[in-house]
Amino acid sequence: MKTITRLYRHQIAGILFAGVAVLIALASSGLAGLARLDAYTRTLYQGNMLPIAQLNELRTAALDARREFWKASQFLDPVRTAASIRVIEADEVLTEKAWNAYYPHGISNPREALIADRIANGLPTFRAVLRKAVMLLERGDRAAAAKWFDDNLEFLNGFDSLMGQCIDVNSWQAAELAGKSESVFRTMFWATFACIVICVAGAVSVSIWLLRQRDDALSESRYHSWLANRVFELTRDGVMITDSRGNIERVNPAFTRVTGYAQQEVLGRNPRLLSSGRQPPEFYRAFWRSLKETGHWHGEVWNRKKSGDIYLESLSVAGVQGRDGSYTHYVAILSDITQRHQHEQRLRNLATHDVLTGLPNRVLLDERLKHAISRTKRHGTHIAVMFIDLDGFKQVNDTRGHAVGDDVLKAVAERLVHSVRESDTVARLGGDEFVVILEEVGGMRQIEPVARAVLTAVGQPIALRSDAVSVTPSIGISLYPNDAANAEQLLLRADRAMYVAKNMGKNNLCFFSTLDAASHPQPATTATV
């Protein structure tokens, strides 16, 4: 034996040295894999999961402040307004706290840094908007507060969109890190297995150490996998993971809350089961083209829940690339923004419609009148403007109360709408003043029967809960282009004609073009011109 050992001692030494070299190389690769896996998991937790939670807190506080401001500006209750102001101030503190917790150490990639810088630049403006809105509310100037908020609505929506983009960037990076961690883990596993084989041949002690390292790595990986799963399950936004063909592989509980579908009901199915039919096929072709070319898509989609209800969904989709660069999975983050959409619609409606009657207000009236004049210039027709004031309404309001007065105004508004065509416009300027725009009309012969019908309809007794009341209209009428050259003149001259009708004994109508030149020299002269 000793002879054989001496004979082949150089070969044995070479084999041992080669084995040790290979062992060292494999051990080094395993350690590098462990370090990379640790870096990925730390980035996943500290650079993505925590920032997502902090950004969600920031976004929630910002949206809650906007919602409380809307309540404070719309409901004329000082106690409620004061409570909303306190909530807004608390939300401002929350936004500051969440932002300081996130920025700048929560930024983990250049794209996120660009978006975070834009949020940082917009945050002082957001605070300034809130503080000025609170100041106006504290002064009791709700109209100015609402206008100020409407003027900055585009900025606020953009600011909210930036926070959503920042959350999406973190989610996309988290998905990529999860895929990379899985790849690193597989590589490390095979490196460890190779080390075990070599160690069985001649380095038992080293193999034991590597096995211990592998066990530690598995334990840490399981912990972070558990943590990622908990984040996946607890996030407030719905998450859906599909394969490369778009078939659903996994969804979180928030997805079930949004859509009504449990995970067992959607596994293996295509997301088209949520389709509402409102988007054309071209929309989905553009959607998939963007995913294939850029790897991501973000937008709003009308989808259908399991119950059949249609809802507006904010959707962000990102592709997860495999080692060959192809997309192996797609991760979709979705949320139901129907209520936010409805709130925005209501805010827009309040800006252009009368709260009591639902009729267009002065802002929308001016817009429609200008559009009507533009159409009239192209088509060569006429426009009639009827300015209506209610006779006796002040007495009803003073003697019966404002509640009865409001019922009278709503009844008059309904009668006016039913007295004219659907293409005509009925608006309330305020108080007991209404305006009707009649488009594509001829002269006074065509307008007078409509005005007489309005006199008759509005003059009928209005049945209330206890009894009936009566009001009558005084109507002034001006024509375009006969009586005025623009919308403002047209309204002013219809108003002048209305006062003449009221002086003639009320419950009457008067055309501006028929005013007595002696009694009204300025309007008569203008009408003649």
Angle at 505 between CA 501 and CA 510, to 5 degrees: 20
Q: Please give the Cα distance from 526 to 492 (Å, whole number).
A: 12
Which residues, 6 or more positions from 345, have their beta carbon under 8 angstroms from its beta carbon? none
CA distance 488 to 500: 19
- Mode of pairing for the β-strands spanning 509-511 and 472-480: parallel
Q: Which CATH number is correct for 1-234, 3.40.50.720, 1.10.275.10, 3.40.605.10, 1.20.120.1730? A: 1.20.120.1730
User: Is 235-341 the same fold as 1-234?
Assistant: no
Residue in the structure block whose two tokens are 């009408």 = 527
Cα–Cα dist 73/135, whole Å? 12
Q: Does domain 235-341 have CATH number 3.30.450.20?
A: yes
| First-last CA distance in the chain | 132
Contact 474, 389 (CB under 8 A): yes
Give how far the C-alpha of residue 330 lies from the chain's centroid of Cα atoms, to the nearest Å.
24
Q: How far apart are CA 100 and CA 94, in angstroms?
A: 10
**353-528 fold:** Alpha-Beta Plaits (3.30.70)
- As given in the structure block, the two tokens for residue 91 are 């939300």
Question: Residues 56, 58, 59, 63: is their CA dihedral positive or negative?
Answer: positive
Domain ranges of the chain: 1-234, 235-341, 353-528
Nearest CA-CA partner of 334 in 315, 321, 357:
315
Residue 360 is which amino acid?
A: P
Instruction: Encode the chain (529 residues) as per-residue pLDDT tens digits.
Output: 444 445 455 656 776 677 677 768 766 766 676 676 666 666 666 667 778 887 787 778 777 777 777 777 666 677 777 777 888 778 778 888 878 877 777 787 888 788 888 888 878 888 888 787 788 777 777 777 778 777 887 887 887 888 888 888 788 877 877 777 667 667 766 766 766 776 666 666 655 755 676 677 677 878 877 877 788 777 888 898 999 888 898 998 988 988 889 888 888 898 888 888 888 888 888 888 888 888 889 888 898 888 888 888 888 898 888 888 888 888 999 888 888 877 877 787 777 888 889 899 998 999 999 999 988 888 778 899 999 999 989 988 888 888 889 999 999 999 999 999 988 999 998 889 999 999 888 777 888 899 999 999 999 998 887 778 889 999 999 999 888 889 999 999 999 999 999 998 889 999 998 774 334 433 332 222 2
